Chains A and B, each alone.
Chain A
Amino acid sequence: MSVPKTEGTSNYEYVTARVQARRAALFDDEDYRKLIRMGPGEIARYMEETEYESEVNALGSRYDGVDLIEHALNRNLAKHFNDLLRWADGELYEFVARYLRKFDAWNIKTVVRGIYSDADSEAVEEDLIYAGEFDRQFLERLVEAASIEDAVEMLDNTRYGDALAEAYEDYDATGVLIPLENAVDRTYYEGLMSGVTETDNRATQLYVEFLQAEIDFRNARNALRIARSGADLDPADYFIEGGELFRASELSQLSSGVDELVTFIRDSTYGEDLSAALDELERADSLIGFEHALDAALLEYSDHLSHVFPLSICPVLAYVLAKEREVDNIRAIARGREAGLSEDEIENELVIL
Chain B
Amino acid sequence: MYEMLFAFVNAVVPLAQEGAAAAEPAIPASAAAALAVGLAALGAGYAERGIGSAAIGAIAEDESLFGTGLIMTVLPETLVILALVVVFIVG
Residues of A whose CB lies within 8 Å of any CB of B are 11, 13-18, 21-22, 311
Task: Collect the chain A residues with CB atoms within 8 Å of residue B55's CB.
Answer: 17
B53 and A11 form a contact (CB under 8 A):
yes
A21 and B61 form a contact (CB under 8 A):
yes
B9 at the interface (CB under 8 A from A): no
With A and B bound together, what is the CA distance between A150 and B51 in angstroms?
51
Min CB gap A314→B, angstroms: 15
Besides A11-B53, A21-B58, 16 other CB < 8 A contacts? A13-B51, A13-B53, A13-B54, A13-B57, A14-B53, A14-B54, A14-B56, A16-B54, A17-B56, A17-B58, A17-B61, A18-B57, A18-B58, A21-B57, A22-B61, A311-B50
> A interface, by DSSP: helix, strand, loop or mixed?
helix
Task: Collect the chain B residues with CB atoms within 8 Å of residue A17's CB.
Answer: 53-58, 61
> B interface, by DSSP: helix, strand, loop or mixed?
helix
The chain A residue with its CB closest to the CB of B61 is A21
Task: Collect the chain A residues with CB atoms within 8 Å of residue B12's CB.
Answer: none
Contact of A13 among B50, B60, B61 (CB under 8 A): B50
A21 and B54 form a contact (CB under 8 A):
no
Task: Collect the chain B residues with CB atoms within 8 Å of residue A13's CB.
Answer: 50-51, 53-54, 57
Task: Collect the chain A residues with CB atoms within 8 Å of residue B53's CB.
Answer: 11, 13-14, 17
Task: Collect the chain B residues with CB atoms within 8 Å of residue A14's CB.
Answer: 53-54, 56-57
Task: Collect the chain A residues with CB atoms within 8 Å of residue B50's CB.
Answer: 13, 311
B3 at the interface (CB under 8 A from A): no
- In the complex, the 3 A-B pairs of residues with the closest C-beta atoms, listed nearest first: A17-B57, A21-B61, A13-B54
Task: Collect the chain B residues with CB atoms within 8 Å of residue A11's CB.
Answer: 53
Min CB gap A33→B, angstroms: 25
Most buried by B among A14, A15, A22: A14
A and B contact pairs by CB, cutoff 8 A, 7 listed: A11-B53, A13-B51, A14-B53, A14-B56, A17-B56, A21-B57, A21-B62
With A and B bound together, what is the CA distance between A17 and B52 in angstroms?
11
With A and B bound together, what is the CA distance between A203 and B90 in angstroms?
44
8 Å CB interface, B22-70 against A: 50-51, 53-58, 60-62
With A and B bound together, what is the CA distance between A18 and B61 in angstroms?
6
Min CB gap A29→B, angstroms: 22
B51 and A18 form a contact (CB under 8 A):
no
With A and B bound together, what is the CA distance between A325 and B61 in angstroms?
21
Task: Collect the chain B residues with CB atoms within 8 Å of residue A22's CB.
Answer: 61
With A and B bound together, what is the CA distance between A311 and B54 in angstroms?
10
With A and B bound together, what is the CA distance between A15 and B61 in angstroms?
11
With A and B bound together, what is the CA distance between A15 and B53 in angstroms?
9
With A and B bound together, what is the CA distance between A16 and B51 in angstroms?
12
With A and B bound together, what is the CA distance between A15 and B57 in angstroms?
7
Min CB gap B28→A, angstroms: 38
Min CB gap A129→B, angstroms: 23
With A and B bound together, what is the CA distance between A14 and B50 in angstroms?
8
Task: Collect the chain A residues with CB atoms within 8 Å of residue B61's CB.
Answer: 17-18, 21-22
With A and B bound together, what is the CA distance between A17 and B54 in angstroms?
5
Task: Collect the chain A residues with CB atoms within 8 Å of residue B58's CB.
Answer: 17-18, 21
Task: Collect the chain B residues with CB atoms within 8 Å of residue A21's CB.
Answer: 57-58, 61-62
Task: Collect the chain B residues with CB atoms within 8 Å of residue A15's CB.
Answer: 57
Most buried by A among B50, B54, B55, B56: B54
Most buried by B among A11, A13, A21: A13
With A and B bound together, what is the CA distance between A17 and B60 in angstroms?
9
Q: Mark B6-31, 1 if CB is under 8 A from A, else 0.
A: 00000000000000000000000000
With A and B bound together, what is the CA distance between A16 and B54 in angstroms?
7
